[in-house]
Amino acid sequence: MDNNFKDLPKSYWLDSTPDTNYPSLEEDINVDIVIIGGGLAGLNIAYLLQKEGLKITILEADRICKGTTAYTTAKITSQHGLIYGKIQGKFGDEIASLYGKANETAIKMYEDIINKNQIDCDFIYESAFVFTQDDKYMEKIEDEVEIASNIGIDAFYVDEIPFPMDIKGAIGFNNQAQFHPRKYILALANIIQDKVQIYENTRAVDIEEDNEYIITTEQGKKVKAKKVIIASHYPFYNKKGMYFAKIFPKKSYIVGIEAEEKYPGGMYINAEKPTRSLRHQNIPNGELILVVGGYPDVGKKEDTNKNYDALIEFANNIFTVKDIPYRWSTQDYITLDEIPYIGYFTSDTPNMYIATGFQKWGMTNSMVSAMLIKDLIIDGKSPWQEVYNPSRKNIIASAKNFIVENLNVANQLLDGKLSPLPEDISLKPGEAKIIKIHKERIGAYRDEEGVLHFVNTTCTHMGCELNWNSAERTWDCPCHGSIFDIDGKIIQGPAVEPLKAGNNVNTIKKLLKEDF
Ligand code: FES
C-alpha cells in the first residue's frame, strides 16, 4: 500500500484520549518540591512522592503528557537493544546488573501501580526480542543472552521470529510489558490531583538559587521551592551541568497500520541499522500494528517524509497492509555512554535533581527516575544512584562521543550560517524556504490556503539555524532539538522563547511572487 501524506501526522495515543484542562499558575506560590515537566517521568515522580506528605507542584509548559510520552511506542522493557553487553564492556558486571535490576523493578512497579489503582490502560505482559539479519551481530546476541541471564533476567535465544523475514537469530526477554501511555498518565494525574497541584500552560523559564529555589514562569509568576526536579525531557536550565554538551537528540518515526494478518504477539527490534521495531495495540475495531524506525539526526536539511516512506516499504514486506490510519514522529535524547542521567543535577546541588537522556527507552527509565529520585529525597540514597549518576566520572570513557557530537553541534552552528540560500523565492502552498535578506534569515511557509507565515530561523536556545521539517511542518533545530511551529511557537524545548518574527518580513512579502 502506498502512502497518503496529505494530512498532518497524528499520534494514536493522543487521538484516542481526551484533552486535559488543568489550570495555569496565576499567583506566586511556596512548595516543598517543584517538578518541571508533566510527562511520564514527572507524573511518576509525583505519584511516588505524594505519599510522603510533601507539598508538591508540577509545572507543565503545554498540556500534561503531550510531549514525548504522547509519541512513544510505550514498550515497558528492561531489554534496551543489546545494552547489557555494552554496559558490561564499559563499566563491568556490577553496573550491568544494577541497570538490569532497576529496569526489571520498574516493570513490576508499573504493574503494582496499575493494579492497586485499577488503571485501565491496556497493560499486558509480552516477550521482547532483539533480532538480526546480519551475521556479524550473532556473537553479540549470544553474549547478550549469557550476560542478561547471569544478572537474573529471563533471557533466551531463538533462531526464528513469527514474521516472513530471514533472520540469523534473536534474543528474547520474558515478562516484559506494553501499555497505552496516555491512558496511564491521565489516570495517574487524576489520582494524585488532590495532593499535587498540576499547572498546565505554565512554562518555567528561569531558576534562581537563593536559600531556596525560585522558579519564574513565562507569565512572570514565582514558585519558591525547597527542592526542584527537572523532568522536562531536555533541561532548559544551562547555568550548571553542561547538559547541552552531554545529550543529543535523535528522531524516530512511527506508522500505525492495519493489516490483513493477525499480529502474532511480542515486541521486536533489530540489532543493526537502520533500526526497525514492531509492537501491536488493540483498538476499538481491531488492531493497530506500530512499525517504528529511526534514528536519523534531528533538523537535517532533507525531505523528512522519506522516513515514513521507508517504514511503509518495510511494513509492506511483512504484512498485507490495509490502511495506514496513523503516523507520527518523536525525539529522544541520547547520552554520551548510553545510560540516562538521573539523580542530583550536579555534584554540588543537593536539592536539585534531573531525569533526562532516556535514550529510546523512556517507559522503564521514567519509572527508574521516580524510584531513584524519591529515594534520594526521602532516604538520601538509592541502590541505583551510582549507575545513573549524572556526574559519573567514567563518562570520560565516552570521550569520543563527546567530541563527535559536539563537533556536530559546532558544524551545525556554522553550517546554518554559511549555507547558500535559494534565489528563487516563489513559494507554492505547503512549501517552505529560508530566505536571507539584510543578513537576516527568514523562514517563509505558505500554508494550504495560501497564507504566508514567517519566522526568524535563528534558534532562541543557543543560536543554531533551524531547518524545515516537511513531514511535520515545523522548524527544527539540529543542535539540541528545539521544535517550533510555523509561527514560531515552541513545540518542544530546550528553547524557552518563541522565534522572533523577523525584521525584514515586509520586504520579503513584496518579493514573493503572488502567482503561486
Ligand atoms: Fe539549542 Fe537550538 S536547541 S541551539
Residue 304, pLDDT above cutoff 80: no
Contact indicator for 157, 142 with CB cutoff of 8 Å? yes
Buried b (16+ CB within 10 A) or exposed e, 452-461: ebbbbbbbbb
pLDDT, residue 86, reads 95
Nearest atom of ligand 1 to the alpha carbon of 493: 3
- Is the sign of the CA dihedral 505, 506, 511, 516 positive or negative? positive
> How many angstroms separate the CA atoms of 368 and 388, rounded?
9
Phi, psi of 220 (to 5 degrees): 85, 10
In single-letter form, the type of residue at position 235 comes to P
Question: Is the beta carbon of 61 within 6 A of some atom in ligand 1?
Answer: no
Nearest atom of ligand 1 to the alpha carbon of 480: 3
What is the 8-class DSSP label of residue 106? H
pLDDT, residue 441, reads 84
Q: What's the whole-number mean pLDDT along residues 394-409?
A: 57
Q: Please state whether 69 falls in left (phi above 0), alpha (psi between -120 and 50) or beta.
A: alpha
Please give the grid coordinates belonging to residue 113.
Answer: 501501580
Query: Which of 242, 461, 491 is the best mutation target for the ligand 1 pocket, counting ligand atoms within 8 Å of the beta carbon and taking the most?
Result: 461
3-state secondary structure of 29: strand
Please give the grid coordinates belonging to residue 460.
Answer: 532562541
Question: Is the beta carbon of 483 within 6 A of some atom in ligand 1?
Answer: no
Lowest mean pLDDT among 110-114, 137-141, 329-333: 329-333
Residue 375, pLDDT above cutoff 70: yes
DSSP-derived pairing of the beta strands 56-59 and 196-199: parallel
Question: Is the beta carbon of 496 within 6 A of some atom in ligand 1?
Answer: no
> How many angstroms separate the CA atoms of 289 and 432, rounded?
32
pLDDT, residue 303, reads 72
Higher-scoring residue by pLDDT: 506, 495: 495
Quote the mean pLDDT of the chain: 89
User: Of the candidates 443, 433, 421, which has an alpha carbon nearest to the alpha carbon of residue 499?
Assistant: 443
Contact indicator for 22, 64 with CB cutoff of 8 Å? yes
pLDDT, residue 332, reads 86
% pLDDT > 70, the chain: 89
Question: Is the beta carbon of 480 within 6 A of some atom in ligand 1?
Answer: yes
What is the 8-class DSSP label of residue 9? P
Question: Is the beta carbon of 477 within 6 A of some atom in ligand 1?
Answer: yes
DSSP states of 152-173 as a string? T--EEEES--SSS---SEEEEE
User: Of the candidates 36, 147, 166, which has an alpha carbon nearest to the alpha carbon of residue 89?
Assistant: 147
Contact indicator for 329, 251 with CB cutoff of 8 Å? yes
pTM of the predicted model as reported, rounded to 2 decimal places? 0.89
Question: Is the beta carbon of 482 within 6 A of some atom in ligand 1?
Answer: yes
Lowest mean pLDDT among 76-85, 113-122, 357-366: 357-366
DSSP-derived pairing of the beta strands 275-283 and 267-270: antiparallel
**pLDDT tens across 268-297, in order?**
999 999 999 999 999 998 999 999 997 566
Residue 457, pLDDT above cutoff 80: yes
CB-count burial class (<10 Å; 0-12, 13-18, 19+) for 8: exposed
pLDDT band at 400 (very low <50, low <70, confident <90, very high): low
Question: Is the beta carbon of 464 within 6 A of some atom in ligand 1?
Answer: yes
Whether omega before 341 lies within 30 degrees of 0, making that bond cis, reads no
